Chain A
Amino acid sequence: MQYQITHTTEYEYHQSVSLCHNVTKLILRNTHDQLCKKTVVKIIPQPDVMSEYKDFFGNHVMYFAIQQEHRHLKVTVSSQIEKKAASVSSLNFYKGTTWEGVKLLIQEPGDDNFDACQYIPETDITRSTQEILQYAQQSFTPGRSMFDASAELMQRISKDFEFKPGFTTVATPLAVVIKERKGVCQDFAHFAIACMRSMGLPARYVSGYLETLAPPGKEKLVGVDASHAWFSVFIPNTGWIDFDPTNNMMAGEQHITIGWGRDYTDVSPLKGVILSSGPHQLHVSVDVRRMS
């Protein structure tokens, strides 16, 4: 399946800004089931400085700076990707490994294991509590397979938490989400990751897009899709498996990956610092389309 994704971020400043520095993680990376064929980045006004490199987790980073007075910033990233369907055979292969087994196997030498280990320690956002541990333990019972336990964790989160856009922001702490049992995709992903890590297991935060389909018989609107996030767990000798707790499903053909990290802060799509004392406004739109 081929997709065309257009992600637009716009800032409107009330007072003119003389200098801005921005770091974006908006360029899609290749994965085992995703190939990025073309990326076009358009920034208005034209940046004075621009550079691209990869971060510690292998994500594409783009840095740019605008060094002239401006009151408006628009960043548009258009990507074309090809998505492969996951094979069913691999799914069966990893079903057997217990979660306790994962904890042992991951300590064995090997680049994949080494890389996965860095996703075990908690971060500021995914700090463990007794409550989180107890929630996790209900699914991670002794001797249970890693895959089953993770899938059940996803199902429970999907059932126990209400999807409520606008209830949280990027700064809402996990404790509030847990108390109110409300939030959006990144809150659910963070909660799941905190659960996994409280059990001593690796989990990472995946930033990306989800293709949404228009209701039958209606034309799909442009820009209604938003960026999305889910979590991923590691099974040694098999790899990373993505779970989407917001939609209670395994990430599949409609899930398009931008990049991953330990939590949101490692892969936040666009951040910046401006020199200005005035307020500003942010507007984001995402459009994911199938290409025929």
Chain B
Amino acid sequence: MISETAKTSFLEEYFNNSHSNNDLFGFNPGLEQNWKTFFTSFSNLGNEEIMNRSQDMMRFLKENGVTYNIYGDPSGLNRPWNLDIVPFLVSKEEWLLIEAGLVQRANLFDLILKDVYGEQRLIKEGVLPMEIIYNHRGFLRECCGINLPGKHNLVIYAADIARTNNGKIWVLNDRTQAPSGSGYALENRLAMARIVPELFNGLKVRRLSPYYNAMRNALTEMSPQQKEQPRIVILTPGPSNETYFEHSFLSSHLGFTLVQGDDLMVKDNYVWLKTLGGLEKVDVIVRRVDDEYCDPLELKEDSQLGVPGLLQAVRSGNVSIANPLGSSVVENPGLMPFLPAIARKLLSEELKLPTIASWWCGQPKELQYVLDHLPTLVIKRIFRESFNRTSVDATLLTNEELSDLRQKIIAQPHLYVGQEKVDFSNTPAMVNGKLEPCHALLRCFAVSDNGNYTAMEGGLTRTSLDKNNMVISNQLGGFSKDTWILSGDETSTLGIKKEQEYVHAQKHNTKSDILPSRTAENLFWVGRYTERVLGNARFQRTVMQFVEEANKAFIDDDLNLKQSLLRALTVHTHTYPGFTGTGSEKKLLEPWKELSEILFDSNRAGSLSCNIASFSRAVYAVRDHWSTDTWRVLREMEEAWQSAAAAKHKGHYKMLNAVDNLITSMMAFVSLNRESISREQGWNLLDAGRKIEQSLLIISMLRSTLVTRREGQVEYILQEAVLKSNESLVNYRFKYRAHLQLPLVLDLLLLDPNNPRSLVYQVERLKAYLSGLPKINVGHALAEHERLALEAFTMIKLADKDVLSVADRHTHRYKKLDEFLTKMNMLLHNISNVVSKTYFKHAQTQQQLFRSGNV
């Protein structure tokens, strides 16, 4: 039982400073009762439980792979997403105003967008200065005069809004290009509903799912041919993009294929998706690539993120893009001061949500005002740039920085806007175990429903603890909150639960029947790296065990054996020079430093850490293919491996333990895939990759250990090590009940069709997977990769274990075995190459033609 004092200490501390109630809860009297209800549930959980749940929530998000990437941060890729356990509350009355304002604004921006790319009446009639549009980088002249179908051009709209100290709601930013955050908003809700369902008690929180349904409908209706089931893709810049998690999350949630620019091509003025089975027509593209980068033919020429000819397909009316190319021009702080007049002209309405007082510096009077009041304003450029900050809080600048800024504004006044700095109101947040007041910025979303706009009844709230900083962005850190729109209606926590089920049900139903060739390639490499990590880990474990034991147990010719094993390890893992070559004598005597490097030094090609990193990259690139359980295994594996790397000096057994754990996790990964991936092309590729790698590893291991004839016990123990690394030692004893001898070892490892670790077993499976791949050419002739697989299979079938086990008298090598393995190695490498060339077509690079100058 938690004592009463412990229960309420959060709140007491929160109120014990000098702030008023109003100040702490955002100057919204309508919310007070709701906050009381919330904090009753909150206090009932108790201090300790709150802390536990906060941690659980972080773990949940981490296991779900929710990340946000920070550019330029060495540990930046896949940074975990931070979610506060205290949500941001919005009252019913407040929401009515926000929703109406948001929908009005979405309509307004849609009309501005149409006007800018159409008649330009706003400019011609003097309502909007030309410079604000014409100087904006997002004004794509190539997009002028293209008639887009559908009622709205602007499909998805988002706005950042904030409460000020007098309880008013203001719009700070508009997002019209490819607004991010809606996926994070849903993931936040799922985490809250899962980890702290009690907190929803007594509060009627509106659901998010209607928004996603509206979005799916809007995108379906956008299809140029009005198909019932159009092919919709999400175009992402790729895994290193800041919000890549969201792209893949939305892709699996909405059931749309996630693609990168070179997964698509334009042919016959249509857009096509390159899949394993050939080209598939694309009807609608949800764009998360900035518009300038979308077509290297007509827009930014050095872009590798786009599709050459995309604009031609748009002009021909054969593909729809949400939001359309060129829409970033209205994501433009320069519009702010002119919006009231534009609203009056285009909608005959006043703005329902006020915009922050803004001055566009392209006008002399306004410029003077901004320069006179510079240290009190926030200064923004009219367009954003990916890698530069284009918004600056001038109140935080030094005199020197102010004078720099002043010069910049004077040089190009039409590119700058000054905005009044307003005081955000506070909202409680859980920071380091204490409730603290912080500023919150709410991103709201609206999507076209073809008649009007549907607003998301929720949103993504982001906060900053820095009380002075008005500029809140994910790139700068901070954390997020779930946003609860409170309603008087009878939708309640029950609805929250449904939402959760709904999402999970979706995930299983949306297995797509087509496989983009990039995804196919990544799956293939996931398969290959899985086995490479496993195979290398197993062999190194065996070697380490022998080395460790050899010091203790009495084995004849100890040094010779140790050398043979360690050298084989270097050869097998390709970590030269390692235990081979000159200077290796010392390493052979004191092998543990080198052994530890082969495990943990990620800078060393061939090391286990290096292979794990390649494995992870391939896994992340196809992240929507893995189940939640699989993610948990992967996360735990990565964490365990990192801490093992940090503790490597603590003893040999620690290293052995780490390798044991790694092998267990990787096997769990393999088995989970077997249970959760449906047997379609993706599986074929994944397992074909595994089989090729397993075959290559057996070959490589035999070549590095057994092709040279050695004396007595050394050869015997090498055979034992090979069997052990291939999990076949028990099998051998059970089957042959004999001492180890080469013909039988080879029989088991190469030729035995019943041994799941044998070469023939791998190649036979591989052959089956390869014939299951889509046929590129008609006719009965075997495809190149099938022919090679058949050749390899036949070669094994025709091999004779006794012939392979004859040593050459002069060279002391098993010559036939060596030849057999060399040939087999070549065949398998060829298979891998041919599969890549045939099916992973995006490998072809795009190139700009030289252009002729004038003289």
Contact, CB under 8 Å: B853 / A186: yes
Pick the residue among B134, B297, B308, B849 that contacts A280 (CB under 8 A). B849
Stretch from B260-268, B507-515, B753-761 at the A interface:
B260-268
Contact, CB under 8 Å: A21 / B852: no
Q: Cα distance A11–B852 when bound, in Å? A: 11
Contact, CB under 8 Å: B141 / A227: no
Of the listed residues B266, B846, B848, B853, the one surrounded by the most CB atoms of chain A closer than 10 A to its CB is B853
Instruction: Specify which chain B residues have a CB less than 8 angstroms from the CB of A185 in the assembled complex.
Output: 854-855
Contact, CB under 8 Å: A186 / B854: yes
Interface residue? A221 (CB, 8 A): no
Q: Cα distance A184–B855 when bound, in Å? A: 5
Contact, CB under 8 Å: A21 / B853: no
Instruction: Specify which chain A residues have a CB less than 8 angstroms from the CB of B414 in the assembled complex.
Output: 121
Interface residue? A277 (CB, 8 A): yes
Instruction: Specify which chain B residues have a CB less than 8 angstroms from the CB of A40 in the assembled complex.
Output: none
Contact, CB under 8 Å: A51 / B851: no
Contact, CB under 8 Å: B851 / A270: yes
* CB of A46, distance to nearest CB on chain B (Å): 14
Pick the residue among B134, B849, B852 that contacts A118 (CB under 8 A). B134
Interface residue? A165 (CB, 8 A): yes
Could you mark each residue 195-219 of chain A with 1 if its beta carbon is under 8 Å from any beta carbon of chain B, else 0? 0000000000001000000000000
Could you mark each residue 3-38 of chain A with 1 if its beta carbon is under 8 Å from any beta carbon of chain B, else 0? 000000101000000111111000000000000000
Contact, CB under 8 Å: A277 / B849: no
Of the listed residues A11, A19, A229, A273, the one surrounded by the most CB atoms of chain B closer than 10 A to its CB is A273
Contact, CB under 8 Å: A228 / B844: no
Interface residues on B, range: 35 or more
Contact, CB under 8 Å: A63 / B312: yes
* CB of A122, distance to nearest CB on chain B (Å): 9
Instruction: Specify which chain A residues have a CB less than 8 angstroms from the CB of B845 in the assembled complex.
Output: 275-277
Interface residue? A76 (CB, 8 A): no
For window 244-284 of A, CB contacts with B under 8 Å fall at 264, 266, 268-277, 280-282, 284
Given known contacts A121-B135, A280-B849, is B855 in contact with A65 (CB within 8 Å)?
no
Q: Cα distance A276–B848 when bound, in Å? A: 10
Pick the residue among B296, B849, B854 that contacts A227 (CB under 8 A). B854
Contact, CB under 8 Å: A271 / B849: yes
Instruction: Specify which chain B residues have a CB less than 8 angstroms from the CB of A168 in the assembled complex.
Output: 853
Interface residue? A67 (CB, 8 A): yes
* CB of A246, distance to nearest CB on chain B (Å): 8
Given known contacts A228-B854, A273-B297, A273-B848, is B268 in contact with A56 (CB within 8 Å)?
no
Instruction: Specify which chain A residues have a CB less than 8 angstroms from the CB of B848 in the assembled complex.
Output: 271-273
Interface residue? A169 (CB, 8 A): yes
Given known contacts A55-B142, A277-B845, is B124 in contact with A184 (CB within 8 Å)?
no
Q: Nearest B residue to A266 by beta-carbon distance?
A: B141
Interface residue? A93 (CB, 8 A): no
Contact, CB under 8 Å: B847 / A228: no
Q: Nearest A residue to B126 by beta-carbon distance?
A: A109
Contact, CB under 8 Å: A269 / B852: yes
For window 131-180 of B, CB contacts with A under 8 Å fall at 131, 134-135, 141-142, 144-145
Contact, CB under 8 Å: A271 / B268: no
Q: Nearest B residue to A63 by beta-carbon distance?
A: B312
Pick the residue among B142, B144, B267, B312 that contacts A51 (CB under 8 A). B312
Q: Nearest B residue to A225 by beta-carbon distance?
A: B855
Interface residue? A88 (CB, 8 A): no
Instruction: Specify which chain A residues have a CB less than 8 angstroms from the CB of B135 in the assembled complex.
Output: 121
Interface residue? B352 (CB, 8 A): no
* CB of B123, distance to nearest CB on chain A (Å): 8
For window 79-96 of A, CB contacts with B under 8 Å fall at none
For window 272-321 of B, CB contacts with A under 8 Å fall at 296-298, 301, 308-309, 312, 315-316
- What are the 7 A-B residue pairs with the smallest beta carbon separation, nearest first? A56-B141, A273-B308, A272-B849, A229-B854, A21-B309, A282-B850, A284-B852
Q: List 6 A-B contacts (CB under 8 A).
A: A118-B134, A186-B855, A273-B309, A273-B848, A277-B847, A284-B852
